[in-house]
């Protein structure tokens, strides 16, 4: 299996977009080496702005550029872009539907050693709640490239989140990437596991564990978190009757909440959410943290069984 | 280029007219920010009727100068000026703060012709204006960007992030005007959190600093012209103003920050202004 860095793919995509379109500008807040935007800066120094350690100003400057006809990609860690500059994103970018594309890296707990201050477990909730904001968590390199290109071409704000870790290339270059559409990675009839990002490999592994026990699990890659693929979620609920969501995010407010909100109103089947519980992260390796915070394939498999027993009680 | 006496008188009259319209709008809406709307009228009038290049008939003209009201609560003043310039019908002024209106309580670029950027949450406008100036630089445009800040607003940390970056990028097409009316919601700026010494602060952030009487049109226009000639750094005009300017019982009164005039107050205020006009 080929592993790729979504951050590097982001930078490469920005450079090719920059060649195609003079109006692409890129901003960062002193994390250009980590987010990889410095690579764009090397090719297009005039169109790259490192605003220093000042995320709120970065978002404001991006808004001003966007209001003047530019397509502004603003990058930082998920924690600082979504958290520090939330109100700027809400009141200036989203409210005015500006062409600001917030691309964040280091999403989730897999940030590892830096600890809780750098582990964003709330950003999907914070961005999902904003009207006009679209939220995407690309699964791999191909999806990252497609998501960045989609955001560049589609007017209005986007929040695109990738992790620090390299990810397995699980989709194909020729697959279409459509806003509001998920992709089926594993067929199944007894339950559907809906996940995104680094939880996808875990979900696929859970599918294998479950199949050995005679449980057929569908795995859906919900990289388009907002708009969510309602059709796929409703079909999964209808056809399997048990939904498990898995994400590198708090169970409060994330994609799992979006699925639960949808199903509670349209087809209330059991929904079990796998994610970090109501607690902060800590230092550790990504591997250790996935275990400590209940984000392993075994945790997903256990959630499926919990869902199945709930279904049987109904 | 100095302004003629006739033009000056005309602009003074315009300020009086805008004051009457602002008070009428606020009274009709029964809510809004009176004091800070009245304190910045000369600044906005000087920009729209003398300083800025703009054409209401061609709002998308790329070479136009841009204005952003960072102290969004002074929206009534901006709306009255925009309507008077012809960006939209004066009839709309009656609908300030009404459901479905193009005139929201704070500026909304998606609803109001002539409003280039949304505001209302303080402290964000200077960053946005810096972004606009950077875009102008990239496009090699000659147009200038003006942004109006409040003095209480300078307590927001983002203002100084923006000031630092505008100085760093040497944005000499950017001009900030500060409506220093010395009062904020909770009291005197100097007593809540003192922002002085202002001139020294802006100089330290690599800005060219001008200071004017914010109700003296001639001084404002002259400072804007001088600011336009500054090279290699942004300019800031510190305008010393009076909150509630023009209405004797509103001047320097903190309580008129976020309160609209009652019917009786509005009648008294308009009588006073009409005597002057």
What tokens does A73 get?
């990609």
Cα distances from B122 to residues A191, A314, B73, B153, B216, in angstroms, run 49, 52, 9, 6, 26
Most distant CA pair in chain B: distance in Å?
52
pLDDT at residue B276 above 90? no
B106 contacts chain A (CB < 8 A): no
Whole-structure pTM value: 0.96
CA distance B264 to B271: 11
pLDDT of residue B22: 98
Q: What is the average pLDDT score of chain B?
A: 97
First to last CA, chain B: 27
Do A184 and A128 form a contact (C-beta atoms < 8 A)?
Answer: no
CA distance A135 to B221: 46
pLDDT at residue B143 above 80? yes
Neighbours of B152 (CB within 10 A): 26
Residue among A54, A61, A97 minimizing CB distance to B134: A61
CA distance A174 to B216: 66
Range list of H helices, B103-207:
125-138, 157-168, 189-192, 198-204
Please give the share of chain A, as a percent, with pLDDT higher than 70.
Answer: 100
B9 vs chain A: nearest CA distance in angstroms? 35
Residue among B121, B135, B138 minimizing CB distance to A91: B121
Place of tokens 């902060």: A280
User: Which of B120, B125, B127, B137 is most worth mutating to test chain A (most A CB atoms within 10 A of its CB)?
Assistant: B127
Do A72 and B127 form a contact (C-beta atoms < 8 A)?
Answer: no
Average pLDDT, integer, range A133-139:
98
List the 23-52 stretch of A: residues with Cβ below 8 A of B: 25, 46-47, 49, 51-52
CB half-sphere exposure, A261, CA atoms < 13 A? 16
pLDDT of residue A269: 98
CA neighbor of A280 nearest in space, from A53, A83, A87, A135:
A83
* DSSP characters over A7-36: HHHHHHHHHHHHHH-TTEEEEESS-HHHHS
Please report which confidence band the pLDDT of residue A306 belongs to, taking 50, 70 and 90 as the band edges. very high
- 3-state SS of A244-273 is EEEEEEECCCCHHHHHHHHHHHHCCCCEEE
Q: What is the average pLDDT score of chain A?
A: 97
Please give the share of chain A, as a percent, with pLDDT higher than 90.
Answer: 99
CB contact under 8 A, B121 and A57: no
CA neighbor of A215 nearest in space, from A314, A303, A313, A291:
A303
pLDDT at residue B112 above 70? yes
Please report which confidence band the pLDDT of residue A254 belongs to, taking 50, 70 and 90 as the band edges. very high
Please report which confidence band the pLDDT of residue B107 belongs to, taking 50, 70 and 90 as the band edges. very high
Of the candidates A55, A145, A165, A247, the residue annotated as catalytic is A55
The C-alpha torsion from B74 through B78 and B81 to B86, rounded to 10°, is -150
pLDDT at residue B1 above 70? no
Radius of gyration of chain A (CA): 19
pLDDT of residue A203: 98
Average pLDDT, integer, range A63-85:
98
pLDDT of residue A303: 98
pLDDT of residue B277: 75
The phi and psi torsions of A65 (rounded to 5 degrees) equal -65, -45
pLDDT of residue A307: 98
What pLDDT digit, counting tens, does each position of B222-267 carry?
999 999 999 999 999 999 999 999 999 999 999 999 999 999 999 9
DSSP single-letter state for residue A112? G
CA distance B121 to B73: 9
Helix then strand then coil, in percent of chain B rounded to 5, is: 50, 10, 40
Place of tokens 């001003």: A64
Nearest CA in chain B to A27: B131
CB contact under 8 A, A63 and B128: yes
Average pLDDT, integer, range B140-168:
98
What pLDDT digit, counting tens, does each position of B57-90 carry?
999 898 999 999 999 999 999 999 999 999 999 9
pLDDT at residue B2 above 80? no
Please give the share of chain B, as a percent, with pLDDT higher than 70.
Answer: 100
Residue among A25, A68, A88 minimizing CB distance to B124: A88
Helix then strand then coil, in percent of chain A rounded to 5, is: 45, 20, 35
Q: What is the ipTM of this complex?
A: 0.95
């Amino acid at each position: 299996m080929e592993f790729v860095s979504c951050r590097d793919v982001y930078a490469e995509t920005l450079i090719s977009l920059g060649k195609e379109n003079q109006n692409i500008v890129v901003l960062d807040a002193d994390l250009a080496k980590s987010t990889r935007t410095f690579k764009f800066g090397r090719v297009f120094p005039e169109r790259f702005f490192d605003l220093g350690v000042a995320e709120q100003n970065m978002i404001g400057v991006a808004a001003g550029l966007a209001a003047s006809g530019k397509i502004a990609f603003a990058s930082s860690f998920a924690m600082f872009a979504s958290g520090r500059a939330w109100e700027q994103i809400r009141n200036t970018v989203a409210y005015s539907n500006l062409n600001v594309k917030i691309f964040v890296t280091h999403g989730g707990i897999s940030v590892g050693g830096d600890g809780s201050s750098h582990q964003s477990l709330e950003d999907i909730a914070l961005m999902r709640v904003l009207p006009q904001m679209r939220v995407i968590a690309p699964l791999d390199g191909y999806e990252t490239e497609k998501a960045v290109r989609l955001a560049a071409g589609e007017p209005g704000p986007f929040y695109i989140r990738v992790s620090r870790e390299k990810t397995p290339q699980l989709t194909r270059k020729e697959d279409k990437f459509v806003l509001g559409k998920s992709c089926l990675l594993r067929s199944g009839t007894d339950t559907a596991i809906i996940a995104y990002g680094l939880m996808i490999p875990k979900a696929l592994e859970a599918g294998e564990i479950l199949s050995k026990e005679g449980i057929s699990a569908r795995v859906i890659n919900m990289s388009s978190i907002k708009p969510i693929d309602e059709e796929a979620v409703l079909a999964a609920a209808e056809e399997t009757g048990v939904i498990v969501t898995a994400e590198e995010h708090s169970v409060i407010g994330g994609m799992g909440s979006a699925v639960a909100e949808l199903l509670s109103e349209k087809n209330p089947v059991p929904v079990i959410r796998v994610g970090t519980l109501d607690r902060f992260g800590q230092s550790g390796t990504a591997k250790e943290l996935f275990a400590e915070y209940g984000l392993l394939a075994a945790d997903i498999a256990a959630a499926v069984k919990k869902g199945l027993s709930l279904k049987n009680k109904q | 280029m100095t302004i003629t006496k006739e033009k000056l008188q005309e602009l003074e009259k315009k300020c009086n007219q805008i004051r009457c319209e602002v008070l009428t709008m606020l009274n009709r809406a029964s809510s809004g920010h009176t004091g800070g709307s009245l304190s910045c009228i000369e600044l906005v009038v000087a920009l729209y009727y003398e300083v800025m290049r703009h054409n209401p008939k061609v709002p998308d003209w790329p070479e136009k100068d841009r204005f952003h009201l960072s102290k969004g609560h002074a929206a009534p003043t901006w709306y009255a000026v925009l309507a008077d310039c012809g960006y939209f019908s004066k009839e709309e002024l009656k609908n300030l703060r009404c459901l479905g209106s193009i005139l929201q309580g704070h500026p909304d670029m998606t609803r109001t012709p002539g409003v280039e950027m949304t505001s209302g949450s303080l402290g964000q406008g200077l960053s946005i204006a810096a972004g606009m100036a950077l875009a102008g630089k990239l496009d090699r445009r000659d147009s200038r960007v003006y942004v109006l800040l409040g003095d209480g607003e300078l307590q927001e940390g983002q203002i100084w992030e923006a000031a630092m970056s505008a100085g760093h990028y040497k944005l000499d097409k950017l001009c900030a005007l500060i409506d220093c009316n010395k009062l904020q919601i909770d009291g005197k700026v100097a007593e809540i959190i003192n922002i002085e010494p202002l001139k020294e602060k802006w100089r330290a952030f690599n800005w060219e600093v001008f200071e004017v009487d914010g109700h003296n049109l001639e001084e404002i226009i002259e400072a804007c012209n001088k600011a336009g000639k500054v090279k290699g750094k942004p300019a800031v005009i510190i305008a010393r103003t009076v909150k509630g300017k023009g209405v004797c019982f509103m001047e320097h009164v903190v309580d008129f920050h976020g309160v609209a005039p009652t019917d009786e107050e509005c009648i008294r205020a308009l009588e006073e202004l009409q005597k002057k006009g």
